[in-house]
Amino acid sequence: MLTIGDIQLKNRVVLAPMAGVCNPAFRLIAKEFGTGLVCAEMVSDKAILHGNKRTHDMLFVDEREKPMSLQIFGGDRHSLVEAAKVVDQDSNADIIDINMGCPAPKINKIDAGARWLLDPNKINEMVAAVVANVSKPVTVKMRIGWDHDHIYVIDNAKAVEAAGGKAISLHARTRQQLYTGQADWSYIKQAKEAVSIPVIGNGDVMTPEDAKRMLDTTGCDGVMIGRGALGNPWMLYRTVEYLKTGELLPDPTAEEKVRIAILHMDRLINLKGEQVAMREMRKHLSWYLKGLKGSAKIKDSIMEETKRDEMVRILHNFLENQPSLAGSAADYEAVPFVQVQCATPASV
């Protein structure tokens, strides 16, 4: 098992804190699919201190998600500490994670995110300041370096440990790479060998076999899955089971995918209202339907639809017109969670 501070996880599979994705609607699905730890999308320290409603909503934690990690970012020590104290005292998150891996220029120009990777001393100073002012375990998500000429992954990992950080999640790409090229897992191995706190590997884990290979080749303590779970929470469950039993479970049927996609949509509507949720669900639905035969034919309809019931009809009609894609009753037992039934379209 993987333990972070005093928080013991039930397995070594972690959902990455993806911006615009990891709200409570998706995090809860990931948790119900067996994920050991779910991480919320990053929140600005300044936004937390300003206390607007949107930010307050981003700090919401459903008890069913726990244990969960809430990620903050910022470049100023005082505001980062004060924001961490808000999360510590006013949120029921279990772990406070500090982002130092975001490659976005608008984040880096305020001396936040991946910008810290150039200065191990700042990492130590900022993490130590947060640790000293909160009671919850503090972790860090970082990249291996700023670019290939500035990779200080060992010094940075040691700085986190020396500051009292309880774990490191390491995306094995540089800031310069963004999400392109290949993740270099050898740096995960280097970080693991350099510190005694848990190191969670991240980058290019798209299959359960990838997860096992990362654990075996790097010796890391856990595996963080990001893009591999987009529209595919089954990847999380299949990875948990593969690491536990060695059994590679089948991919979900089209019926399973549509059922969970609608459940995801309904939870997002409950969270944000129909107007906002329907705009956000368009990208999720494209991910859920990716690779399914005939799905390209309804892509335009999905990208234009603004009403929940009409979207459900589109998805149900897609299944009805593709009878060969429908799943059997046995599919409901593929994972415990798929026994949850999605709602049907409202009566006209």
Mean pLDDT of the chain: 90
- Type of residue at 142: M
pLDDT at site 324: 54
pLDDT tier at 338 (50, 70, 90 boundaries)? Answer: very low
More confident residue, 293 or 196: 196
Q: Which helix (H) or strand (E) holds 54?
A: helix 53-58
d(CA 35, CA 15): 7
Q: Examine the pLDDT at 345 and tell me if it is beyond 90.
A: no
pLDDT at site 218: 98
- Quick check: is 102 catalytic? yes
Mean of the pLDDT values across residues 132-148? 97
d(CA 301, CA 285): 11
User: Quick one: DSSP state of residue 92?
Assistant: -
d(CA 139, CA 137): 7
Q: Which helix (H) or strand (E) holds 173?
A: strand 167-174
Catalytic residue among 39, 102, 220, 342: 102
| pTM beyond 0.95 | no
Residue entry with tokens 């290939």: 148
86 in Cβ contact with 49 (< 8 Å): yes
Q: Examine the pLDDT at 76 and tell me if it is beyond 60.
A: yes
13 in Cβ contact with 236 (< 8 Å): yes
Please enumerate in sequence order all residues whose Cβ is within 8 A of that of 93, keeping only pairs 6 or more positions apart, or say none. 40, 59, 61, 68, 69, 70, 87, 136
